[in-house]
Amino acid sequence: MARTPIRKLLVANRGEIARRVMRTARAMGIATVAVFSEPDAREPFVVEADEAVPIGGDSPATSYLNLQAIMEAARLSNADALHPGYGFLSEQPSLARACEEAGIVFVGPPAEVMEMVGSKLTAKGIAREAGVPTLDFWALPAAGGEGGGGVDPRAAATAAGYPVLVKASAGGGGRGMRVVREAVDLEAAVESAMREAASAFGDPTVFIEHYVERPRHVEVQIFGDRYGKVSHLFERECSIQRRYQKIIEECPVESLDEHVRQGMYGAAEAIGRAIGYVGAGTVEFLVDGAGNFWFMEVNARLQVEHAVTEAVTGVDLVRVQIMLAEGEKLESALGPCEVRGHAIEARLYAEDPSRDYLPSAGRISRFRIPDLPGLRVDASVETGSEVGVLYDPMLAKVIASAPRREEAAGVLAAALSSARIHGVMTNRALLVAILHDAEFLAGAIDTGFLDRHPPAELARSGGLPSEHARLVHGAVAALGLQALRREQAGVLAGLPSGWRNNESGYQWVRLSDERGALLVRYRMGDGRSGSRRAKPIAITVEQLSLDESSLPEGLSGSSPSSLDVALWDVQPGCVDIEEGGIRRRYEIDHPSHASAPAAVFVDGPDGSSVFQVGERFPLAAGSSGAPSLVAPMPGTVTKVGVAPGQAVEMGETLVVLEAMKMEHELKAPSAGVVDRMDVVVGEVVALGQVLAVMKQGDGETIL
Amino acid sequence: MQALSSAINPKDAEFVANRAAMLDGLAAHEAEQALGRAGGGARYVERHRDRGKLLARERVELLLDPDSPFLELSTLAAWGSEYLVGASVVTGLGVVSDTECVVVAHDPTVRGGTMNPYSWKKIIRALQISRVNRLPLVSLVESGGADLSTQAEGFIPGGQLFRDLTLSSSLGVPTVALVFGNSTAGGAYVPGMSDYSVMVRDRAKVFLGGPPLVKMATGEESGDEELGGADMHSRVSGLSDYLALDERDAIRIGRDIVEHLFWRKLGPGPSEPADEPLFDQDEVLGIVSRDLRVPFDPREILARLLDGSRFEEYKALYGTSLVTGWGSIHGYPVGILANHRGVLFSEEAQKATEFIMLSNQIDVPLVFMQNTTGYMVGKAYEQRGIVKDGAKMINAVTNSTVPHITVMMGASYGAGNYGMCGRAYEPRFLFSWPSARSAVMGAEQLAGVMSIVARQSAESANRPFDEEADRMRREGIERQIEAESHAFANSGRLYDDGIIDPRDTRTVLGMCLSAIHSNVIAGRRGWGVFRM
């Protein structure tokens, strides 16, 4: 077979991975073409590409999952190769096939290979034949589907032994996956997994297997060339997961016994050879505490976490992919390699771990990760980017490498701690806490890590500022808001802030974060020029319960903490104060540029805080509109369970909302009758949008 | 423009003593203000709060834009009278929805917010400030109307209040009334005469006569809700334009109303750099003499008042007992007239007249910094025409149409008070420092003059002159005049708009100048500038 050099590469993906692939392409002298959806028009990956082709609408189905549009973009741009990235169409045989038909080099395995590994069931069969350990499994065709009465789920689960895992045969990333511990929950789990699988991958097939408790997730990177050669490029551990999504990955896995490690390398290569693997792939294994491992699946693409392998081997995995796609032999694409040092990757998500990882959308008003030695940042966003609800909420991968594991963890934690990420909630505090955790540092990790350490608790213990620092941050936020208001004042902006000739009250602002509400009261003083020392001011911070609705004037009971604060300089974006005798500079950011920002971000040497700014005039009782079921987040309606007029029990599911890969069931808050149903399946809803209105028997509308 | 220099020495014994005296005066002033803030006392304040109501100043604070400055006016009104200091009402200049407004709020903890003669004076003055400077008026109403025990003094001024409200409206100055509680009889006309009225549900009661009065008048039985409840007025009578769910809601609505005025100021606004003075404003305290007989250089004050301490002095070598010149405060150009050595001679009067005309020619507001013992007396001066020259200055001050602001720093005696734009000359704003003393003449001089007259009278009647009785009478008069000329006494009678901390003068003038620029700034035209 002749070598076909690539001159122009179309990246059929978005965000971080599109930027990553194009970076290597540029380094290899290959021109780059991006494809983009309407909401992505201004994203960095589009701007950075040599050329970019708009491929359509605002949903993934009409853009990055739209095979025809992507192939048309390749034709239009005269691309001679296509890199699929990960996710979207990356593991769809149809894409590889379409490329083949169009005479475009596909940077990935051939369609037949994808078909084989795309079904986990098929892959497991091949692995078993190749002598690789696998768990027993039972496939379930779709209920009422063509397969008809296949296996009985109950019998299968009993045979596998509870707890069992119900898992979609297609796809990955934790979608269509359910752990079932008791028979009573099985039916609902199977139904919901199938629905999610069908919606996500177009294939409702699921299988049941025994659920290995507290397993480790270890995977082996493999490469294959067109000439039948397959070899591994070491392993990665991806055991720290939240809801089956990896969030921290590393290489190497130091705690594995050498014979286990070698066993996995051998198994991975055996599977690769058995299916004739070409390109970069990953073979995933479950490892139990005793060092037993079982084959799980093959990922026929570049993994999100490939960067840790790059960091310790010095190999550019995308470069190897491209060379193999061009028809190079494995020996020339990938020379002899060794692992040097240790690398850890953290995935920074726009989500709120304290609220069940609710995705957080918004405009990134500030994005800065410090440039520390050994640090690599693969970001999909930059300052000014919009994080929407349509795509994966990963903002960036941050990778630290160092000679020793603890050092890498330390550098990574430091980088994340001092990062400035404003405009959306992130899992940053959780990541930092994990990286500081003693169990993690001892290498005693498995996929149950975050079940044992509830994220909210963990974040509080490690990554979030101390209670005192939080109060200081509250005061700093109030001072920054104060400066912002003065700057934006239409009249008397140059006069001293909050000046009074007959002082009777305090200026105040109510702030809240996940720990509760704060009431900050202050007087800025006379505002006269003079002194070369910091100017002391009166400022108190009072902790309120979250549901506190009364306003400052009438408050009593809770004891305000008086802070010993003197001002050096107070600007809307920067507050320089002396607190308890120590001078610190804080950065402040108000993501919305309106005069009344909804959130304030405070970053200082003693940590970072995010506060929601309370309404100065909360709606008085009785003034709100009709109580209703509102969307807790933006998303797409995937199921409407009831119709107007229908009586429902408390807790009955009314609407299912899919947002950022997760299904959220919205349940009836009490028994009653559905009065109105304002949404239909497929509708995209905004945060706080009324979905349905219920009323009780006596006709009164209820929440 | 050149910056002023300063020659003071903060370690100087005089400076230190002056500073201590001024701080004493400020402490006494603050003690008086505190009395007013305490309202009707702890018991009434608590009762008011227990009803879920906000205090007058809390309502004002919530109404104002957060972190904006607020200049409370006439805080010592009724000082020295039988009524509570502050006259049971809060008035001031503040910012609501980015609009400079005059705010008036009754203090319902003092005799139900009823208005005594000083309350009327204070409110009518606030309305005047609103009207003349074209500042929207927001009234926070909770008042039982006139204090009936003083009806004789309140009846006529009360009528002026209603008149002034609608007069403001006709001049394009919007008036907004937020009614929090009782607003009966005379009080009912405040929402009635205002352009907008907002009433708090279950709280506001607005009627000419309450149930007892109606029963007395016509025998009709009625409840106060149907007579004057907020709900009734919002749905039936239409006297209320907005129904508020509670006090905060009313304030929120009030802010929205002011926002929709889409206010545009008519003045040219600030035009100069608004940099801070080069010298510490705190030092003003030590510059002002504690003894009024000792003059101080007003340039030391100006160096701590004007933007960047910049001052362009007019006729620096002529009539040197009065300093005149131009500078700016918070970016607003001003002409300054400041007494230096107390006495005004013909030269000073002529210089002032020219300076006032020049400032009118260029439409620049004037600031008068008073420290004057009056026009010079004596044969030589009378023969040179001091009366004519003083008359020129008073004529110029009277007929000048640029806005004036007066600050009483120290002495303000005799016609000097008039020439330097005292209260009768209707400056837009007039503030006193605690060191200010004002009367027809100094206490000692007045007592001395009366003594001389008595002695002459005794001599011409050939009566023996009782030296001891004269001494005692002199002392008595001196004490009386001293008390009457005290800054607090004048402020109590509403002869100024309040006493301010000298260190805050730049801030206060900045706010006032900005307020003044809500209206047109136009100097007198007609004759050319006369060289006197």
Nearest by CB to B69, which of A492, A617, A622? A492
Residue A138 to residue A13: CA distance in whole angstroms: 34
pLDDT at res. A148: 44
Rounded to the nearest 10 degrees, the angle between the axes of helix A15-27 and helix A317-326 is: 70
Q: Assign a CATH topology to domain A8-107.
A: Rossmann fold (3.40.50)
**What residues does CATH 3.30.470.20 cover in chain A?**
213-340, 347-462
- Say yes or no for a CB contact (<8 Å) between B69 and A621: no
The answer, yes or no, to whether residue A698 has pLDDT greater than 60, is no
Count other Cβ atoms within 10 Å, centred on residue A195: 19
Confidence of residue A88 (pLDDT cuts 50, 70, 90): very high
pLDDT at res. B296: 96
Confidence of residue A639 (pLDDT cuts 50, 70, 90): confident
Residue B202 to residue B225: CA distance in whole angstroms: 8
Closest Cα of chain B to A40: distance in Å? 38
Q: B439, B518 in Cβ contact below 8 A? A: no
- Say yes or no for a CB contact (<8 Å) between A502 and B99: no
SS3 B398: helix
A413-437 pLDDT, tens digit each: 999 988 999 888 899 989 999 999 9
A87: its two tokens = 């996710």
When pLDDT is averaged across residues A583-602 and rounded to a whole number, the result is: 80
A32: its two tokens = 């780059």
The answer, yes or no, to whether residue A557 has pLDDT greater than 70, is no
pLDDT at res. B52: 87
- Say yes or no for a CB contact (<8 Å) between B514 and A492: yes
- Say yes or no for a CB contact (<8 Å) between A622 and B100: no
The answer, for A495 touching chain B at a CB cutoff of 8 Å, is yes
Residue A454 to residue A353: CA distance in whole angstroms: 9
Q: B77, B86 in Cβ contact below 8 A? A: yes
- Model-level ipTM above the cut of 0.90: yes
Burial B380-403 (b: 16+ CB within 10 A, else e): ebeeeebeebbbbbbebbeebebb
pLDDT at res. A56: 84
Q: Which amino acid is at B178?
A: L
The answer, yes or no, to whether residue A647 has pLDDT greater than 90, is no
Residue A238 to residue A305: CA distance in whole angstroms: 9
Find the range with the poorest average confidence among A17-21, A383-387, B173-177.
A383-387
- Say yes or no for a CB contact (<8 Å) between A530 and B54: no
- Say yes or no for a CB contact (<8 Å) between B249 and A620: yes
Residue A381: phi, psi to the nearest 5?
Answer: -125, 170
- Say yes or no for a CB contact (<8 Å) between A489 and B55: no
pLDDT at res. A1: 56
Q: pLDDT higher for B299 or A452?
A: B299
pLDDT at res. B150: 78
Task: Report percent pLDDT > 70 for chain A.
Answer: 91
Residue A611 to residue A632: CA distance in whole angstroms: 19
If you count residue pairs, one on A and one on B, with CB atoms under 8 Å apart, how many are there?
A: 119
Q: pLDDT higher for A340 or A56?
A: A340
Query: Which residues of chain A are within 8 Å of residue B52 when distances are taken between CB atoms?
Result: 554
B225: its two tokens = 């809700």
| Mean of pLDDT over chain A | 87
Q: Is the peptide bond before B268 cis (omega within 30 degrees of 0)?
A: no
**What residues does CATH 2.40.50.100 cover in chain A?**
629-701
Nearest by CB to B69, which of A495, A504, A617? A495
User: Which 8-state DSSP code applies to residue B430?
Assistant: E
Picking from B68, B89, B135 by the largest number of A CB atoms within 10 A of its own CB, the best residue to mutate is: B68
Closest Cα of chain B to A522: distance in Å? 10
Write the DSSP string, B66-113. TT--BEEE-TTTTTTSSSPTTTTEEEEEEEETTEEEEEEEE-TTTGGG
- Say yes or no for a CB contact (<8 Å) between A482 and B280: no
When pLDDT is averaged across residues A85-107 and rounded to a whole number, the result is: 94
Picking from B63, B67, B178, B262 by the largest number of A CB atoms within 10 A of its own CB, the best residue to mutate is: B67
pLDDT at res. A3: 84
Convert A468-484 into a string of H (helix), E (strand) and C (coil): HHHHHHHHHHHHHHHHH
- Say yes or no for a CB contact (<8 Å) between A495 and B507: yes
Picking from A488, A501, A506, A571 by the largest number of B CB atoms within 10 A of its own CB, the best residue to mutate is: A501
Beta-ladder partners of A400: A344, A375
Residue A400 to residue A377: CA distance in whole angstroms: 9
Residue A44 to residue A34: CA distance in whole angstroms: 11
B380: its two tokens = 């030589």
Count other Cβ atoms within 10 Å, centred on residue A619: 13
Nearest by CB to A494, which of B98, B274, B508? B274
Residue B153 to residue B157: CA distance in whole angstroms: 8
pLDDT at res. A515: 82
User: Which 8-state DSSP code applies to residue B171?
Assistant: T
A610-630 pLDDT, tens digit each: 898 988 887 654 433 334 577
pLDDT at res. A57: 81
Closest Cα of chain B to A576: distance in Å? 19
The answer, yes or no, to whether residue A147 has pLDDT greater than 50, is no
B133: its two tokens = 């400077």
A98-136 pLDDT, tens digit each: 999 999 999 999 999 999 998 888 899 999 999 999 998
Residue B346 to residue B392: CA distance in whole angstroms: 10
Nearest to B375 by CA among B363, B364, B389: B389
Angle, CA of A580, A581 and A583, to the nearest 5°: 105
When pLDDT is averaged across residues A73-87 and rounded to a whole number, the result is: 96
Residue A690: phi, psi to the nearest 5?
Answer: -75, 125
- Provide the residue count of chain A: 703
Residue with tokens 């079921």: A629
pLDDT at res. A701: 44
SS3 B517: coil
How big is chain B by its Cα radius of gyration, in Å? 25
Residue A322 to residue B194: CA distance in whole angstroms: 78
Right CATH number for A213-340 from 3.40.50.620, 3.30.470.20, 3.40.50.2300, 3.40.50.300? 3.30.470.20
Closest Cα of chain B to A472: distance in Å? 20
B450: its two tokens = 């009366």
- Say yes or no for a CB contact (<8 Å) between B249 and A494: no
The answer, for A625 touching chain B at a CB cutoff of 8 Å, is no
The answer, for A624 touching chain B at a CB cutoff of 8 Å, is no
Q: A434, A454 in Cβ contact below 8 A? A: no
- Say yes or no for a CB contact (<8 Å) between A490 and B98: yes
pLDDT at res. A353: 85
Right CATH number for A136-210 from 3.30.1490.20, 3.50.50.60, 1.10.3720.10, 2.40.110.10? 3.30.1490.20
- pTM of the complete model: 0.79
Task: Report percent pLDDT > 90 for chain A.
Answer: 56
Beta-ladder partners of A242: A245
Q: Assign a CATH topology to domain A629-701.
A: OB fold (Dihydrolipoamide Acetyltransferase, E2P) (2.40.50)
- Say yes or no for a CB contact (<8 Å) between B503 and A500: no
Closest Cα of chain A to B511: distance in Å? 7
Q: Which residue of A has its CA nearest to B26?
A: A501
| Neighbouring residues of B18: CB distance < 8 A, sequence distance ≥ 6 | B285, B286, B287, B288, B289, B290
Residue B199 to residue B230: CA distance in whole angstroms: 5
Query: Which residues of chain A are within 8 Å of residue B498 when distances are taken between CB atoms?
Result: 501
Phi-psi region of A80 (alpha: psi -120 to 50; beta: other; left: phi over 0): alpha
- Say yes or no for a CB contact (<8 Å) between A485 and B65: yes
- Say yes or no for a CB contact (<8 Å) between A505 and B331: no
Query: Which residues of chain B are within 8 Å of residue A504 when distances are taken between CB atoms?
Result: 37, 57-58, 61
**What residues does CATH 3.30.1490.20 cover in chain A?**
136-210
pLDDT at res. A442: 93
Residue A100 to residue A4: CA distance in whole angstroms: 13
- Say yes or no for a CB contact (<8 Å) between A617 and B501: no
Q: B90, A519 in Cβ contact below 8 A? A: no
pLDDT at res. A700: 43
pLDDT at res. A530: 56
Phi-psi region of A577 (alpha: psi -120 to 50; beta: other; left: phi over 0): beta
Count Cβ atoms within 10 A of the Cβ of residue B172 and give its class: 0-12 exposed, 13-18 middle, 19 or more buried.
exposed
**What residues does CATH 3.40.50.20 cover in chain A?**
8-107
Residue A503 to residue A523: CA distance in whole angstroms: 9
pLDDT at res. A621: 46
SS3 B413: strand
pLDDT in tens, chain B (532 residues): 899 999 999 999 999 999 999 999 999 999 999 999 999 999 999 999 888 899 999 999 999 999 999 999 999 999 999 999 999 999 999 999 999 999 999 999 998 888 899 999 999 999 999 999 999 999 999 988 877 777 777 788 788 999 999 999 999 999 999 999 988 877 788 999 999 999 999 999 999 888 888 888 888 899 989 999 999 999 899 999 999 999 999 999 999 999 999 999 999 999 999 999 999 999 999 999 999 889 999 999 999 999 999 999 999 999 999 999 999 999 999 999 999 998 999 999 999 999 999 999 999 999 999 999 999 999 999 999 999 999 999 999 999 999 999 999 999 998 999 999 999 999 999 999 999 999 888 888 888 888 898 899 889 988 888 899 999 999 999 899 889 999 999 999 999 999 999 999 999 999 999 999 999 999 999 899 999 8
Q: Assign a CATH topology to domain A467-613.
A: Glycoprotein, Type 4 Pilin (3.30.700)
Pairing, β B366-372 against β B404-413: parallel
Task: Give the CATH H-level superfamily of domain A347-462.
Answer: ATP-grasp fold, B domain (3.30.470.20)
B42-62 pLDDT, tens digit each: 999 999 988 889 999 999 999
pLDDT at res. A529: 58
Q: pLDDT higher for A459 or A70?
A: A70
Closest Cα of chain A to B69: distance in Å? 4
The answer, for A228 touching chain B at a CB cutoff of 8 Å, is no
Say how many CA atoms lie within 13 Å of B451 toward its Cβ: 19
Q: pLDDT higher for A647 or B396?
A: B396
Nearest to A412 by CA among A437, A386, A393, A380: A437
When pLDDT is averaged across residues A88-105 and rounded to a whole number, the result is: 94
The answer, yes or no, to whether residue A356 has pLDDT greater than 90, is no
